[in-house]
Amino acid sequence: MATFVLVHGAGHGGWAWTRLTPLLRAAGHEVHTPTLTGLGERAHLATGDLDMDTHVADLLGVLFFEDLRDVILVGHSYGGVVITAAAHRDPSRIARLVYLDAPLPQDGQRSIDLLAPEHQREQTPAHAPSPAERLARLGITDAADAEWVRARLRPQPPGTQLQPLRLGNAEAAALPRTLVFFDRTPANFPAALYRRRLDAAGAPAYLVLDEGHDAMLTAPGRVAELLLPLAEG
C-alpha cells in the first residue's frame, strides 16, 4: 500500500480529486486531499497576509499530524509549486514528487513568474476570461461538469503568487520526480510554457496524456493509470 497526498491547483480545492480518489483507494492505497487555506471549503479563511508559506504549512501539517511517511506527493498546476516548496522545507516524509501538468519552479522564482513573460506580469489583461471561457481552458466542456466546477472555483489568494521560493535543500533536490503533461492544455498555461522549455533544452523526460488541464476530473481513470504504477516503485 502506498500513501498519496494530492495537492490541488489555483482556484481549486480538495474537491478537485473527488473522481480520482476512489480509484486509488480501490487499488488499496491511502489517499489524502488537503484543501489549501483560502480555497474550497476554507475560502472563508482568506486574508490579505496569506502567502506561499501558509500553503506550505498546510501541506506539511497534514504530513506531520497524520503521521504520513514515504508519501507520493502529487501537485496539479499551482500545486506543483506548493509541493516543491514543501519538499525543500522538509523532505523527510516524502518518497516521490509528481507534477501533473505543473511547472517545476526554480530557486527565487515566484508562482507568478511561471504564469507569463516578465513584461506582462504586472499588466491587467484587456479581456478577462468569462466563467465559460475559463472552464473551457481547464478542459471542462460537459455542461453538468462545468456548472459543478464553476460553483466551486474561488479566487487564488494573491500573496501565494508573489512570495519568492527558497529551494536549497539537497535532499529535496535528489527526490525522484515524475512529470506528466496534458496535451490539450492551452499553450499559454504554465505547464505548457514549461514543457516547451524542456523540449528546447533537448532533454524532455516526461509523460504525456491527451487530455485537458483538469484531467483528474474529466479523465480520472486515465490519470489513475499513470499514478498507480508509481506506487510499485
Cβ–Cβ under 8 Å, residues 22 and 91: no
Q: What is the pLDDT of residue 117?
A: 46
Question: pTM of this prediction?
Answer: 0.93
Q: What is the pLDDT of residue 167?
A: 95
Q: What is the pLDDT of residue 128?
A: 54
Residue type, 155: P
For the chain, where are the E strands, in sequence order?
3-7, 30-32, 71-76, 94-100, 177-182, 207-209
Interior angle at CA 88, CA 82 and CA 89, nearest 5: 85
- Which residue numbers are catalytic? 77
**pLDDT < 50 stretches in the chain:** 117-127
CATH number of 3-119+137-232: 3.40.50.1820
Paired strand residues for 31? 4
**Residue ranges of domains in the chain:** 3-119+137-232
Q: What is the pLDDT of residue 123?
A: 44
Q: What is the pLDDT of residue 134?
A: 84
Paired strand residues for 4? 31, 72
1: burial class by Cβ within 10 Å (0-12, 13-18, 19+)?
Answer: exposed
Length of the chain: 233
Q: What is the pLDDT of residue 129?
A: 64
Q: How far apart are CA 21 and CA 30, in angstroms?
A: 9
